[in-house]
Amino acid sequence: MQFRLTVLPGDGIGPEVMEEAIRVLHTVGERFHHHFDLHNGLIGGIAIDREGAALSSETIEMCRRSNAVLLGAVGGPKWDDPQAPVHPEDGLLSLRKGLKLFANLRPVKVFPTLVNCTTLKPDVIRGVDLVVVRELTGGLYFGKPKKQWTTARGRKAVDSMLYSEQEIERIARVGFELARTRRKKLASVDKANVLQSSRLWRQVVTELASEYPDVHLDHVLVDACAMRLIQRPTDFDVIVTENTFGDILTDEASMLAGSMGMLPSASLAGVPRSGKRTFGLYEPIHGSAPKRAGQDMANPIATILSVAMMLRHSLALEQEASLIETAVSRVLEEGYRTYDIMEDGKQRVGTKEMGELITARL
Ligand code: NAD
């Protein structure tokens, strides 16, 4: 099969981890006789320097003409000035908006060989395998009114947690469909004891559940979810939630895996269904780690696992995706580690060697 992909390596360690991810992608292509037609573009600081914008309209157009987009990371001290008219992160926002990405998927899988890499007890995190589905386009971050004003008694400000039933149904469907392909458990997270938008959320999710009788649905309050995530994270399979709650819970959940260098993510423009292709953007959850850039130190696994997610959700190549995940597990079981997941008695390797080891196991 032939696929057209846009690759945006970005800044800092972005290009280094992307090189290894592309190595893995091409090897999968050779093994399964797929051709990946790659188109490189600029995003973030490098795009500001060379094109005067964090993401040019030509690059967005290139993304739209692709089956999927792979992104490294953006940002760095050079572009940190808060007074600057444009920032590297503007490119990420333009991508989300320009590509109509509404569902952010962040899987957190703790590899058995890495249970000692986190701050939590091994017994708590052993077996963790969950996905947080976060709504990306609505809620507090975008709802109107959104303003600050001055009154005779001082300043006031308001943000609005606004959701329509269509927005809730669309993201809940992503949660149900994903749960169907996994352990068939969905936790819908809200704050229905206090918030009107959460009451609507709960009603819509409950109504939709009748279409998914095979999926076990739980409603969990966001505060309880935050506790359970570190107390009994293995309870969770798929979690679906609105934008702000998701922003916080995804960061909390990422700590279960020990290093940001291990975690991939996807942002989708449609509901993923098995065997169907859904357009999406795939990226590691980490940033550009400028202090590690150019030193062959960064862990490329998050980006390599993002390639696996892309094959699964945007190209409907499940077997190829699983092969990459298995290769990553094997290399970890054999004891190879980048600095961020290093332990006594293991073999430390750099970015390139880690990429080569995984490629060799495909
Ligand atoms: P960061 O994710 O870049 O780094 C946080 C910590 O994790 C650092 O200690 C870093 O060395 C380490 N780390 C990150 N990725 C790693 C990897 N693959 N392997 C090994 N170690 C890794 O976050 P930060 O330091 O807060 O931000 C650095 C820059 O990245 C900033 O300019 C920030 O705005 C930007 N950023 C970009 C994104 C993105 O592109 N999506 C996300 C977050 C931050």
299 lines ligand 1 (CB under 6 A): yes
276 is annotated as an active-site residue: no
SS (H, E, C) the chain: CEEEEEEEEECCCHHHHHHHHHHHHHHHHHHHCCEEEEEECCCCHHHHHHHCCCCCHHHHHHHHCCCEEEEEECCCHHHCCCCCCCCHHHHHHHHHHHCCCCEEEEEEECCHHHCCCCCCCHHHHCCCEEEEEEECCCHHHCEEEEEEEEECCEEEEEEECCCCHHHHHHHHHHHHHHHHCCCCEEEEEECCCCCHHHHHHHHHHHHHHCCCCCCEEEEEEHHHHHHHHHHCHHHCCEEEECHHHHHHHHHHHHHHHCCHHHCEEEEECCCCCCCCCCCEEEEECCCCCHHHCCCCCCCCHHHHHHHHHHHHHCCCCHHHHHHHHHHHHHHHHCCEECHHHCCCCCEECCHHHHHHHHHHCC
Residue from 19, 96, 260, 354 to probe ligand 1 pocket by mutation (most atoms less than 8 Å from CB): 260
* Predicted TM-score (pTM) of this structure: 0.96
247 is annotated as an active-site residue: yes
| Per-residue pLDDT in tens (0 to 9) along the chain, 362 residues | 999 999 999 999 999 999 999 999 999 999 999 999 999 999 999 999 999 999 999 999 999 999 999 999 999 999 999 899 999 999 999 999 999 999 999 999 999 999 998 899 999 999 999 999 999 999 999 999 999 999 999 999 999 999 999 999 999 999 999 999 999 999 999 999 999 999 999 999 999 999 999 999 999 999 999 999 999 999 999 999 999 999 999 999 999 998 899 999 999 999 999 889 999 999 999 999 999 999 999 999 999 999 999 999 999 999 999 999 999 999 999 999 999 999 999 999 999 999 999 999 99
In the chain, what are the domains? 1-101+264-362 (3.40.718.10), 118-257 (3.40.718.10)
75 lines ligand 1 (CB under 6 A): yes
Q: Considering 159, 247, 296, 336, which one is annotated as catalytic?
A: 247
- Whose alpha carbon is nearest atom 38 of ligand 1? 287
